[in-house]
Structure 1
């Protein structure tokens, strides 16, 4: 299998050729930089510039990251500045009033960086604050960044409020400061109807109880980043998901509707957005390895790595993995271990960190099969995580094995299947279910130390 570097996908080879020097480093990438992507029918191929063919064993694996700033469209957006271009010099913010658009870690990081110098900081977004320790999603607000919550709730110095930035307007006042209007709150004297020209000379009245009635020196956009779809031509561009933030991909990390195109790294986070850690290095290092195993078997018939042992060693093997496996811990409910039981009942085969949404295709994806299956998944309690949930309530945990099924903290769950789930079962899973109903289900009770090594009594 030959993996080409990412180049612009275009009908015209001259467009891609202009990029080739950027992908050549001495002679190391000389061979690889002779390839570019060309569409064929509804798919694409890697076009080799030397031999002028479309080799069948080439794939495009896109690992460009999520690096394009999200810039909304609203009147006066040009009066705002992006978080990605912000100066690190705190003195530039001395005595200024700042409005931050956004509610994630980048917004709070920005606030923390300038809070000692500013006059006041207001933060606005359409959704409520999502605290990572409540949602158990590492992309939500981390405690290390949330200093503004104290200055808002305990000191009334700064403020956080809800509003849709797409329904706002920024205007420049005569003194050069920035005034915000949202939901047509301002009462304009003339002209009667505003245009998109934020610099026009208008008179307006700000209601006394309008929370954003004070003008600002700066408006900073901290609205996150998204995948750059402009690297593709229209007929080879993957579908978008999550309002254009990520490419839409299948559980095997392939682009939906474009055979041969795959995504790795944070680009593949659409599969577990707001669920697990696939958008971050401690998570996608495991999903990238899973993609490697998938393509290795598909192209070279190298089966998914496994360990085959006598059945007498299974319990010790499971306990060791529950306590030491980082992949199924970081990528909980996304990657899981699969135990294959063979018909003779004398041995088992153990596969690590397989994509759970692909278990119905286990034999064709791994080259491994058997007569019965046990799948190990790490899971939180169903109704434990979420914005606004009281995850510190006094009865938040149990230590009784008889109540293991109501465990809230991350704990191992074992699914036993006499036969693998079908594709229809997988495609019609309820949104809050990880896998189809098994023939037997076993929760291992949560443990305060996440240490499941206590002796059996």
Structure 2
């Protein structure tokens, strides 16, 4: 038997794609999982067991679509019992709760998963993939970032890695500790050890980026940044800005050679009892032989992908889940469940259009600015996909031969690459922050800001707001910004609706 789709990995992304294929009911698929349960990553990570994905059961609305804006953990399904908000009331849930949820999701939907089956070889020949003897027309890799990223530091192997280090704070009592890395895993670790260590240094060449300022949820989250207080309030700990050049070990501990970025690369040797490496993860490409090995990108940490989430050099090899953050690295949410669940749904629609002649789902609209405007306004005020995948997914209105169609949640780059063909006019609606939003301190009251609901200044808004772009021949010919609003309601007649209707009318009038 030759499968239509073989999915490697039963984490959240693999389960999400399997659920979509199962609901469709017309494709042969199978999920291979190396562990004996779904979501095995969460059995080990995060090491201190608290997730940083938001879980908010009480939102003040019964609208399931709006609720997904504040639910960062649920996968997409039609079963209301399969919402993660039913599993715990905690705002930052425990990893064990998520393991229970994923197991129930897989079981309740009766997904076709073969557990305890670790893939060792993926090959491609004669138009088919061979995955350890299983034939498939298409392979979707949803393994996540399964290997530690090792930066080029001499002696790096001497450090204790995040994946294996002890997590009991008592194991570090009275010790001087260096944590290499400036991401959430590094600060999660530092926060956990503050009460028992004598000194902790957190080191890395990049600046500390705070998520509340950049709006990138992979940057340092407030829940992990208590350590910054201990540094700035002179409580023994420190953040070191620069490069770790070398790690050496002797009978009394470690000597670390460090070059400081803030002091014209002054080099200094520092002594520690422990060195912990929290430098992140990377894609494991070792299972692919030469016939199917994907090109890599971003320091070889990710498979390089097209706008259709397909390998740039291996046709038919697709990626799902956190691996797809190569498309919006450190800008969007494809690296996180609340983002890639919609990316997987987009991938499913791409696969149906490419390989099964099933066009992207579309709703016909009346030809005219009022109907188009009403449809856009309704969606931006309710959609969870545009909200979570800001700037990456767009709702698209196509106008061709007098026919108007509304398509939801299409990757912007996929549209620009011709994935929907070449309609004479396409209106792309996204939710976006302003271009310099990460340079604005939202808590600095001395900074002049655009007034809420200021329609004439909407293009300068820093906060999240709808943006509508008109494309002709794949090129942007006009842009309209809807004024930002404190309650994220973009439906005021004079401020939002009528200016948008006038913009749409101008685009329809162009011949």
- Shorter chain as denominator, the TM-score bin is 0.7 to 0.9
Name the structure 2 match of 1:313: 371
Q: 2:204 aligns with which of 115, 125, 130?
A: 125
Name the structure 1 match of 2:383: 325
Matched, 1:449 2:500: no
Separation in structure 1 between the aligned mates of residue 451 and residue 415 of structure 2, nearest angstrom: 30
Separation in structure 2 between the aligned mates of residue 397 and residue 224 of structure 1, nearest angstrom: 37
Question: Relative to structure 1, is the Cα distance of residues 349 and 99 closer, same or farther in structure 2, using a 3 angstrom cutoff?
Answer: same
Name the structure 1 match of 2:476: 437
Select between 238-247 and 396-405 the one with higher mean Cα deviation. 396-405
Q: 1:359 aligns with which of 415, 419, 422?
A: 415
Separation in structure 1 between the aligned mates of residue 142 and residue 459 of structure 2, nearest angstrom: 39
- Please report the TM-score for the alignment, with normalisation by the length of structure 1: 0.77
Q: Determine if contact 1:5/1:23 at 8 Å carries over to the other structure.
A: no
Matched, 1:111 2:113: no
Per-residue CA distance 1:113-165 (angstroms, 9 max, x = gap): 11111111011101111111221111110111111110000124200112223
Q: How does 1:116-195 map to 2 (within 5 A)?
A: 116-165=195-244, 167-172=245-250, 174=251, 176-182=252-258
Q: Determine if contact 1:23/1:29 at 8 Å carries over to the other structure.
A: no
Q: 2:124 aligns with which of 34, 39, 42?
A: 39
Separation in structure 2 between the aligned mates of residue 101 and residue 335 of structure 1, nearest angstrom: 34
Matched, 1:90 2:169: yes
Question: Relative to structure 1, is the Cα distance of residues 413 and 130 closer, same or farther in structure 2, using a 3 angstrom cutoff?
Answer: same
Matched, 1:300 2:376: no
Q: Determine if contact 1:359/1:420 at 8 Å carries over to the other structure.
A: no
Separation in structure 2 between the aligned mates of residue 24 and residue 391 of structure 1, nearest angstrom: 46
Give the drift of 1:370: 4.5
Name the structure 2 match of 1:6: 8
Asked which structure has the greater CA Rg, the reply is 1
Separation in structure 2 between the aligned mates of residue 148 and residue 73 of structure 1, nearest angstrom: 26
Structure 2: unaligned runs, 5 residues or longer:
10-31, 38-109, 261-265, 496-511
Q: Which SS does the other structure have where 2:240 is aligned?
A: strand
Name the structure 1 match of 2:433: 380
Matched, 1:335 2:398: no
Separation in structure 2 between the aligned mates of residue 342 and residue 374 of structure 1, nearest angstrom: 12
Separation in structure 1 between the aligned mates of residue 274 and residue 375 of structure 2, nearest angstrom: 58
Per-residue CA distance 1:213-268 (angstroms, 9 max, x = gap): 4x211100000001011111244211111101111111110001111100011111
Give the drift of 1:448: 1.5
Per-residue CA distance 1:340-361 (angstroms, 9 max, x = gap): 12433xx621101111112245
Q: 2:455 aligns with which of 386, 401, 406?
A: 401
Per-residue CA distance 1:190-234 (angstroms, 9 max, x = gap): xxxxxxxxxxxxxxxxxxx97654x21110000000101111124
Q: How does 1:65-104 map to 2 (within 5 A)?
A: 65-104=144-183
Separation in structure 1 between the aligned mates of residue 318 and residue 175 of structure 2, nearest angstrom: 46
Aligned length: 385
Q: Determine if contact 2:342/2:385 at 8 Å carries over to the other structure.
A: yes
Separation in structure 2 between the aligned mates of residue 168 and residue 414 of structure 1, nearest angstrom: 50
Question: Relative to structure 1, is the Cα distance of residues 382 and 183 closer, same or farther in structure 2, using a 3 angstrom cutoff?
Answer: closer
Q: Determine if contact 1:401/1:445 at 8 Å carries over to the other structure.
A: yes
Name the structure 2 match of 1:192: none
Q: Determine if contact 2:122/2:292 at 8 Å carries over to the other structure.
A: no
Structure 1: unaligned runs, 5 residues or longer:
8-19, 185-208, 422-435
Question: Which structure 1 residue ranges, 4+ long, deviate > 4 Å from structure 2?
Answer: 20-30, 209-212
Q: Determine if contact 1:98/1:218 at 8 Å carries over to the other structure.
A: yes
Q: Which SS does the other structure have where 1:449 is aligned?
A: coil
Question: Relative to structure 1, is the Cα distance of residues 162 and 81 closer, same or farther in structure 2, using a 3 angstrom cutoff?
Answer: same
Separation in structure 2 between the aligned mates of residue 328 and residue 27 of structure 1, nearest angstrom: 28
Question: Relative to structure 1, is the Cα distance of residues 23 and 99 closer, same or farther in structure 2, using a 3 angstrom cutoff?
Answer: closer
Separation in structure 2 between the aligned mates of residue 274 and residue 401 of structure 1, nearest angstrom: 30
Separation in structure 2 between the aligned mates of residue 236 and residue 168 of structure 1, nearest angstrom: 36
Give the drift of 1:336: 0.5
- Please report the TM-score for the alignment, with normalisation by the length of structure 2: 0.69
